Amino acid sequence: MLSEFDLIKQYFVRPARPAPLSPRAQLGIGDDCALLGITPGQSFAISSDMLVEGRHFFAGEDPRRLGHKSLAVNLSDLAAMGARPAGFTLALALPAADRDWLAGFSAGLFALADEHDCELIGGDTTRGPLNICITVFGEVAPGQALRRDAARPGDDIWISGTLGDARLALAGIRGEVALQEDAQQLAGARLHLPTPRVALGRLLAEGALAHAAIDISDGLAGDLGHILERSGVGATLDVDALPAGPVLATCASGHAALRRAYTAAGGDDYELCFTAAPARRGAIEAAGAACGTPVTRVGRIEAAPGLRLTDGQGQPLELRLAGFDHFGGGQ
């Protein structure tokens, strides 16, 4: 039987890493608190995200994918702030100390953590219904942080990567659409293994290229709505300009309504939506190319409040878009 402390030691404490990889954790797992240094002139960007079985993932979900996704959704918040990952804590409620589950979960978690040089510095472990809560710490110069309240009339609206494949995969799992096995696998990778756009967020912040940003977790229309509300502005969004994921683009050819709904309000995309002055177009394209993340211009921030949707010809579109709201229903 694995004790709480053996479990932590075996699956979450790692050998000391070479100095350049983790200069910020002065004291890691094993004491009452971790000590995290900070670079002078920087602020901590801090965010928590909780994943609950039955709510955010299905019972029996592959533990490796779950380890990846638990950290990915947190790193995505750092990306949306333009912050550099520094470390994270992990609060874990487990129904049982299952060695196979722990080995898979920690492998998925640390593979992504190492990719972003983000160290596990502490946490808590308890018995209970499966629940994973990560708090991530990043660094950003306060004047460079990409805040939701910083969009300005005249700004372009940009999207990183593609939208809609994660929602399509969920629809396939739920039997709302019929997908071929390979299409389900491909789209499923976007749902289960999201890619946090950390490098792009940092380039946008450090180069002062963008004004406002948010990561798209609950669907673009709703998440962009947060920027509009916090910034006291409105926007027009060209729904047909939204970059559809490759699986959605193929499956929904001839189904404009499905493509529009899943790109504009799908959820679980973990792409960045950001606003920037038109003078920055060239620099933003270059930043996207530099980090291998495509960027697409999809609309314009305007002074008049509200979100106006148009088709590719600029004609108004009436879409009933349900973003995700844990207490209000939705998708």
What residues are designated binding site for ATP? 123-124, 148, 217
Question: Which CB sits closer to ligand ADP, 119 or 218?
Answer: 119
CB of 132 to Mg ion, least distance (A): 16
- Judge contact between 44 and 138, C-beta under 8 A: yes
Nearest-angstrom CA–CA distance, 67 and 109: 4
Q: Find the radius of gyration of the CA atoms of the chain.
A: 20
Rounded to whole angstroms, how far apart are CA atoms 135 and 123?
9
Give the three-state DSSP class for 83.
coil
Q: Least separation, in Å, of the C-beta of 70 and ligand ADP?
A: 11
> How many Å apart are CA 68 and CA 63, to the nearest integer?
9
- With CB under 5 to 8 Å by kind, the binding choice for 125 among ligand ADP, Mg ion, none is ligand ADP
> SS3 for 31?
strand
Binds 284: which of ligand ADP, Mg ion, none (CB < 5-8 Å by kind): none
Buried b (16+ CB within 10 A) or exposed e, 129-164: ebbbbbbbbbbbeeebbbbbebbeeebbbbbbbbbb
Stretch that binds Mg ion, among 98-106, 117-125, 129-137, 238-246 (CB under 5 A): 117-125
H-helix segments, 193-318:
198-206, 220-231, 246-251, 256-265, 281-290
- Closest distance of CB 100 from ligand ADP, Å: 17
Question: Between 89 and 275, whose beta carbon lies closer to ligand ADP?
Answer: 89
Site membership for Mg ion, residue 124 (CB under 5 A)? yes
Stretch that binds Mg ion, among 24-32, 120-128, 241-249, 296-304 (CB under 5 A): 120-128
3-class SS at 331?
A: coil
**From the list ligand ADP, Mg ion, none, which binds 22 (C-beta under 5 to 8 Å, kind-based)?**
none
d(CA 275, CA 235) in angstroms, rounded, equals 11
Pick the closer one to ligand ADP by CB: 70 or 162.
70
From the list 123-131, 151-159, 177-185, 251-259, the region that binds Mg ion by CB under 5 A is 123-131
Closest CB to ligand ADP among residues 21, 208? 21
β-sheet bridge partners, residue 133: 50, 91
- Cβ atoms of 90 and 229 within 8 Å: the answer is no
Q: Which residues are annotated as a binding site for Mg(2+)?
A: 32, 47-49, 77, 124, 215, 218
Closest approach of Mg ion to the CB of residue 24, in Å: 22
Q: Which does 296 bind (CB under 5 to 8 A by kind): ligand ADP, Mg ion, none?
A: none
Least Cβ distance, residue 239 to ligand ADP (angstroms): 42
d(CA 270, CA 222): 13
User: Is residue 266 exposed (0-12), middle (13-18) or buried (19+ Cβ within 10 Å)?
Assistant: buried
The site for ligand ADP (CB under 6 A) is made up of 8, 12, 29-32, 90, 92, 120, 122-125
The smaller minimum CB distance to Mg ion, of residues 42 and 125, is found at: 125
Candidate segments 72-80, 121-129, 176-184, 289-297, binder of Mg ion by CB under 5 A: 121-129
Q: Which is nearer to ligand ADP, 113 or 251 (CB)?
A: 113
| Pick 121 or 157: Cβ nearer Mg ion | 121
Which spans of this chain sit near Mg ion (rule: CB under 5 A)?
A: 124
